[in-house]
Homo-oligomer: A and B are copies of this chain.
Amino acid sequence: MTNKLYDTSLSLLTDLYQVTMAYGYWKSGTAEKEAVFNLYFRKHPFGGGFTVACGLTNVIGYIEHFSLSKKDLRYLQTLTGNDGQPLFEEAFLDYLANLKLTCDIEAIPEGTVVFPNEPLVRVRGPILQCQLLETPLLNLINFESLIATKAARLRLVAENDTLLEFGLRRAQGVDGGMTASRAAYIGGCDATSNVLAGKLYGIPVRGTHAHSWVMSFENEAEAFQTYADVLPNNVTLLVDTYDTIQGVHNAIEVGRKLEQKGHKLAGIRLDSGDLAYLSIAARKLLDEAGFTDTAIVASNDLDETIITSLKQQGAKIDVWGVGTKLVTAFDQPALGGVYKLAALRHTSSENAEPDGWDYKMKLSEQAIKISTPGIQQVRRFRNEQGFIADMIFDESNAEPNPAGVTMTMIDPLDFTKRRKFDATQAFDDLLVPVFRDGTCVYESPDIHAIRARVQTQLTNLHSGVKRFVNPHTYPVGLERNLHELKTALVMKLRERND
C-alpha cells in the first residue's frame, strides 16, 4: 500500500537531529548496535477514555519508499556547522546512499482502541535506522490516530445518523486534508466531500451545491430547479442562502416536480442559524408536503458537543456534515505521541541484563514522563462482555511462559494494586509483525475493514470508558517482572544522580 502523495522522495522528512545523531552513531562505530524504540502516547486526546490507532498503512508506504536520493545527499552535503565547515564527511553520505532499512517492526493494527503507554509501534534494528524513522513515524501516527479518535467520538454521538466529513478547505495543508479524510472515514464517517480522497482511498464521496450556485441565478427557485433538472439523482438543496423557511418551500416545489419525473428530493441542507429550531420547522413542512423520506442535512462548525446538544433539543437532523472541528481536531489539534529508546544490545558483560539487553529509560521528575524499558508487547484480556484489561509485558523477560501461566499485572500508578490472570483467561497480543529485516510482512486490511474494526472494538469497551465527561479509566498495567525491572532501573538511575 502506498500513498500517492508520497511519490516524491520524502526520506528527508525528518528532524535534522536524527541525521546528526545518525552521523554520531556511524562515526563512533555504533550505527549497527541493535536498539528497540517504542512509539506511544501518554494521555488520551479530548479528555476522553480511548484512542483509535491509525496511520500504519501510511507508515508502511513511507518505509517501503525510504531511499535517499542523490538530491537528498547533495543537500546534506551543503549543511555546515558554526565554523562554516561541512557537518558531514563524504563517507557518511556514501553510507546513507547505500542504506537499506533492515528493521523489524511490530505494530498494533489500525482501527484498534489503544491506551496510554502502550507501544503502538515497536521498532527494533540498528540504532541509526531506528533514529531516522522517529520523526516520520510520529508525524504519521500522531495525526491519523488523533483524527480517527475524533471521528469515533462523533460517530458515538451521531448514533445511526449519517456522518459526512466536509473539512478539506480548513484542513492543515494538502496532506492535512488528505490524511484527515482517510482517518475520519476509518473513525466512523460515512463519506467525505474530498474527491481526491475518494479517488485515492476508495472513500465514498458526497456533495451537491454551495451558496454560490444559488447566488448565480436570478432567484433561489430557479437555482433549485436548474440543479434538479441537471442532477436529478443527487438533489440535496442548500436552503439558507437568503431565507431558510422560504428555501424549504422552494425545495418542496422542486421536489414535487422531481417526483413527477420518477426522481426524489433526497435532502435539504441547513448551514446557518438555529439548527434545532430550523430543522424542526423544516421537518414539519416537508412531512406536511409528503416528503417524509427527504433527509435534513446540517452543517456549520459542528462537533460532538454541539451534536449532542442539538439531539437533546429534539433537532430533526438525519445527516451531520462536520468539517473544521473534525479535520483539525480543533479542541486538541495534536496527539502528544513520543518515541523512546527502551533497550540496547549490551556489548560488555558488566551491564548485562537477561537475554543480552541493556534496558533503557528516560527519567523525569514527573512519573508520567518516565518511559518504560523492554521489548514490549501488549496483552489484552477479554471475556464475552468485552475487553477487561491490557497488560504490557517484556517479551524477553515475562513470567516463565507468558502463554500458559498466571500473570500478575501491576497498576502503574499504585504498585499495591495487583490483578492476576490465569491461563484460562482469553487474550490477544496486540502487536503484530509488520516488517522483518526491512521487508513488509503485513498486508493492511482494506479501508472499509479497518473502519468496521473500529466499531467492533468500541462495542467491546465498557460504556463508562466511552463517556465524554470523566470517563472511566480502562485498566492498563505492567506485568510484574517488567514492573520490577523498571522500578530497579529508576532506583539505580536516581542513585547515580545523587
Contacts and interface: CB of A to CB of B under 8 A. Distances in A.
B6 A7 contact: no
Given A134-B169, A193-B17, A198-B75, A216 B360 contact: yes
A173 B143 contact: yes
Contact of A27 (B14, B230, B329): B230
A23 interface: yes
A248 interface: no
Interface stretch (A112-120, A175-183, A410-418, A424-432): A175-183
B172 A172 contact: yes
Nearest to A179: B173
A216 B344 contact: yes
A153 B335 CA distance: 23
A234 B82 contact: yes
Contacts of A82: 233-234, 264, 266
Contacts of A351: 218
A393 interface: no
Nearest to A218: B351
Interface stretch (A28-36, A97-105, A283-291, A309-317): A28-36
B174 A10 contact: yes
A208 B20 contact: yes
Contacts of A306: none
Contact of A12 (B16, B87, B196): B196
Nearest to A329: B333
B233 A85 contact: yes
A199 interface: yes
A18 B211 CA distance: 11
Interface in A175-218: 175-180, 193-196, 198-199, 205-213, 215-216, 218
A385 B328 CA distance: 39
A140 interface: yes
A436 B135 CA distance: 41
A293 to B, nearest CB: 11
A81 interface: yes
Given A209-B24, A351-B218, A195 B15 contact: yes
Interface string A99-142: 00000000000000000000000000001000100110011101
A459 B101 CA distance: 50
A169 B17 CA distance: 12
A108 B226 CA distance: 36
Contact of A176 (B28, B176, B210, B272): B176
Nearest to A191: B16
A21 B153 CA distance: 32
Contacts of A37: 212
Interface in A330-367: 330, 333-337, 340-341, 344, 351, 360-365
A303 to B, nearest CB: 12
A455 B135 CA distance: 31
A173 B175 contact: yes
A217 B169 CA distance: 47
Contact of A230 (B23, B144, B210, B334): B23
A346 B318 CA distance: 38
B176 A340 contact: no
A266 B328 CA distance: 37
A8 interface: yes
A305 interface: no
A320 interface: no
A333 B330 contact: yes
A462 interface: no
Interface stretch (A238-246, A444-452, A480-488): A238-246
A170 B15 CA distance: 12
A369 interface: yes
Contact of A199 (B23, B75, B330, B360): B75
27 contacts: A10-B174, A16-B205, A24-B213, A24-B226, A25-B216, A37-B212, A81-B231, A82-B234, A85-B233, A131-B212, A139-B169, A139-B173, A139-B177, A140-B173, A143-B172, A173-B173, A173-B175, A173-B179, A174-B179, A211-B341, A215-B341, A218-B351, A243-B363, A273-B365, A324-B334, A324-B336, A330-B334
Closest 9 CB pairs of A and B: A81-B233, A16-B207, A175-B175, A17-B207, A172-B172, A138-B169, A173-B175, A176-B176, A173-B179
